[in-house]
Amino acid sequence: MSKVALVTGGTSGLGAAICSQLAADGYQVVANYLPDLKAQALDWQQAFSQLGYTCALAPADVSSETDCQRMAQILIEQFGRVDVLVNNAGITRDATIKKMTSEQWQAVINTNLSSLFNVCKPLIESMQQHRFGRIVNISSVNAQRGQFGQTNYSAAKAGVHGFTKALAQETARYGITVNTVSPGFINTSMVAAIPDDLRNEIINSIPVGRVGEPEDIARAVRFLVDDNASYITGTELSVNGGIFMH
Ligand code: CAA
């Protein structure tokens, strides 16, 4: 039976590319989406099926613990297990700290970091029972080097890799690996929202000479979730065109 892969924020941007890659590789893919965006998710699912892939949809606000518990319960009932989990859902609320509201701070911390606790906790026992799991958490180059205007995002995304390293230690003996992928500047709506002059400046500074494509990230995820990647855990894979080397 093919493995079951849950991708949070799976119906757009990086998440959609990850879903396509995993579906092409034969996984039973489940795309989580924010319940408010149901119409967009259904459109995406239809377009996805026209490409010859199938993908289930799982509504849940990843910043809500109860939503995530409900989603996990439904998935375990429906599929019996979740083998692969990609924590991809994320938002930006950029502002300098003087202008940042506590709502902007909390929204980013809850969606980008607390979501990892919310989604992993109700799924981890099942992975342990099956003695198999692949968890990939999406962080960012802006966690590694900090970014003007992103104290909330840089803090949350740096926390992502701390979470990865701790969970990797707790789960290693059960055949579960936990790794981080840290994208650089990728061709998504999040990067399109950066003011034009700044975005052009950033693109000019990327050593490979282009922004990344969502598929560049999907291929990194594919590598880490492979059965044969069983000796890679607690690591961070940068996929950033060389914009930050450390
Ligand atoms: N370093 C130093 N100074 C900077 C700066 C920088 N990087 N960016 C702006 N400044 C300065 C400005 O020159 C300006 O100075 P003056 O007041 O002397 O003119 C001052 O800081 C205020 O700048 P803004 O006018 O831009 O302030 P603002 O409040 O209008 O906007 C901002 C602030 C929201 C942070 C805006 O600059 C912005 O959107 N920046 C982009 C942030 C960014 O890169 N986000 C990444 C999104 S992509 C992503 O997150 C995906 C990923 O994982 C990579």
Q: What confidence tens digit (pLDDT) does each residue in 105-143 have?
A: 999 999 999 999 999 999 999 999 999 999 999 999 999
Provide φ and ψ at 196, rounded to 5°: -50, -50
User: What whole-number percentage of the chain has pLDDT above 90?
Assistant: 99
Least confidently predicted of 76-80, 157-161, 194-198: 194-198
Q: What is the dihedral angle through the alpha carbons of 204, 210, 215, 221, rounded to the nearest 10 degrees?
A: -50
Boundaries of domain holding 91: 4-238
Report the C-alpha gap between 219 and 208 in whole angstroms.
17
Phi-psi group of 92: left, alpha or beta (phi > 0 → left; psi -120 to 50 → alpha; rest → beta): beta
Q: Which helix (DSSP H) or strand (DSSP E) does residue 177 occupy?
A: strand 176-183
Instruction: Give the pLDDT of residue 125.
Output: 97
Each residue's pLDDT tens digit, 166-204: 999 999 999 999 999 999 999 999 999 999 999 999 999
224 pLDDT higher than 90: yes
Q: Tally the C-alpha atoms within 13 A of residue 243's C-alpha that lie toward its C-beta.
A: 24
Instruction: Give the pLDDT of residue 1.
Output: 79
- What CATH number should be reported for the domain holding residue 105? 3.40.50.720
* Ligand 1 atom 5: residue of nearest CA: 148
Report the C-alpha gap between 242 and 145 in whole angstroms.
13
Q: Does 62 reside within a domain?
A: yes
Each residue's pLDDT tens digit, 10-20: 999 999 999 99
Q: Does 35 reside within a domain?
A: yes
In the structure, which protein residues have their CB atom closer than 6 angstroms to any atom of ligand 1?
92, 94-96, 99, 140-142, 147-150, 153, 185, 190-191, 194-195, 198
Q: Does 245 reside within a domain?
A: no
Q: Does 111 reside within a domain?
A: yes
Q: What is the mean pLDDT of residues 201-209?
A: 96
Q: Does 214 reside within a domain?
A: yes
The helix, strand and coil proportions of the chain, stated in percent and rounded to the nearest 5, come to 50, 15, 30
Provide φ and ψ at 24, rounded to 5°: -65, -30
Out of 27, 33, 153, 231, the active site residue is: 153
Indicate the number of domains in the chain. 1
Residue with tokens 């375990």: 76
User: What whole-number percentage of the chain has pLDDT above 70?
Assistant: 100
Is residue 153 among the annotated active site residues?
Answer: yes
